[in-house]
Amino acid sequence: MPLLVMKFGGTSVADLDRIANAAEKVKREVDRGYDVIVIVSAMSGKTNELVGWVEQTSPLFDAREYDAVVSSGENVTAGLMALRLQEMDVPARSWQGWQVPLQTTSAHSSARIEDIPRANLDRKFAEGMKVAVVAGFQGVSPEGRITTLGRGGSDTTAVAFAAAFEAERCDIYTDVDGVYTTDPRIEDKARKLEKIAFEEMLELASLGAKVLQTRSVELAMRYKVRLRVLSSFEDNDDNAGTLVCAEEDIVESNVVAGVAYSRDEAKMTLISVADRPGIAAAIFGPLSEAGVNVDMIVQNISEEGRTDMTFSCPVDQVARAERAMNGARDKGEIQFSELVADTDVAKVSVVGIGMRSHAGVAARMFAALSQEGINIKVITTSEIKISVLIDRKYMELAVQALHDTFELDKAA
36 three-class SS: strand
Q: Is 118 in the site for ligand ASP (CB under 6 A)?
A: no
Q: Which of 152, 178, 241, 258 binds Mg ion (CB under 5 A)?
A: 152
Judged by CB under 6 A, the stretch of 127-135, 153-161, 240-248, 371-379 that binds ligand ASP is 153-161
110 or 120: whose CB is closer to Mg ion?
A: 110
Asked if residues 172 and 229 have their Cβ atoms less than 8 Å apart, the reply is yes
Give the long-range contacts of residues 110-118, CB within 8 A, separation 24 or more.
110/148, 110/149, 110/150, 111/67, 111/139, 111/141, 111/147, 111/148, 111/149, 111/150, 112/149, 113/139, 113/149, 113/156, 113/157, 113/160, 116/160, 116/161, 116/164, 118/164, 118/165
Burial annotation 356-377 (CB, 10 A radius, 16+ → b, else e): eeeeebeebbeebbeeeebeeb
Residues 295, 388: Cα–Cα separation, whole Å: 11
**Between the CA of residue 330 and those of 271, 276, 335, what are the distances in Å?**
16, 19, 9
Q: Is 139 in the site for Mg ion (CB under 5 A)?
A: no
Residues 197, 246: Cα–Cα separation, whole Å: 5
174 or 312: whose CB is closer to Mg ion?
A: 174
Asked if residues 377 and 308 have their Cβ atoms less than 8 Å apart, the reply is no
Taking only Cα atoms into account, the Rg of the chain, rounded to an integer number of angstroms, comes to 23
Pattern 54-73, ligand ASP, x by CB under 6 A = -------------------x
User: Smallest distance, Å, CB 24 to ligand ASP?
Assistant: 21
Q: Is 109 in the site for ligand ASP (CB under 6 A)?
A: no
User: Count of CB atoms within 10 A of residue 49's CB?
Assistant: 12
Q: Is 136 in the site for Mg ion (CB under 5 A)?
A: no
Q: Which of 4, 6, 8, 10 binds ligand ASP (CB under 6 A)?
A: 10
Q: Is 190 in the site for ligand ASP (CB under 6 A)?
A: no
User: Smallest distance, Å, CB 116 to Mg ion?
Assistant: 20
Q: Is 139 in the site for ligand ASP (CB under 6 A)?
A: no
For the chain, what's the residue count? 412
Q: Is 73 in the site for Mg ion (CB under 5 A)?
A: no
9 or 258: whose CB is closer to Mg ion?
A: 9
Judged by CB under 6 A, the stretch of 39-47, 276-284, 369-377, 387-395 that binds ligand ASP is 39-47
Residues 295, 206: Cα–Cα separation, whole Å: 11
User: Smallest distance, Å, CB 93 to ligand ASP?
Assistant: 21
At position 235, the amino acid (one-letter code) is D
Q: Is 374 in the site for ligand ASP (CB under 6 A)?
A: no
Asked if residues 339 and 268 have their Cβ atoms less than 8 Å apart, the reply is yes
Q: Which runs of E-coded beta strand occur in 75-176? A: 92-95, 103-104, 113-115, 131-135, 138-140, 146-148, 169-174
**Between the CA of residue 368 and those of 220, 312, 356, what are the distances in Å?**
34, 23, 20
Q: Which does 355 bind (CB under 5 to 8 A by kind): ligand ASP, Mg ion, none?
A: none
11 or 181: whose CB is closer to ligand ASP?
A: 11
Q: Which of 137, 180, 198, 336 binds ligand ASP (CB under 6 A)?
A: 137
205 or 325: whose CB is closer to Mg ion?
A: 205
Q: Which of 47, 77, 387, 400 binds ligand ASP (CB under 6 A)?
A: 47
Judged by CB under 6 A, the stretch of 82-90, 151-159, 178-186, 199-207 that binds ligand ASP is 151-159
9 or 352: whose CB is closer to Mg ion?
A: 9
229 or 368: whose CB is closer to Mg ion?
A: 229
Q: Is 153 in the site for ligand ASP (CB under 6 A)?
A: yes
Judged by CB under 6 A, the stretch of 145-153, 185-193, 233-241, 401-409 that binds ligand ASP is 145-153
Which positions touch ligand ASP (CB under 6 A)?
9-10, 41-42, 47, 73, 136-137, 151-155
Binding stretches for Mg ion (CB under 5 A): 9, 152
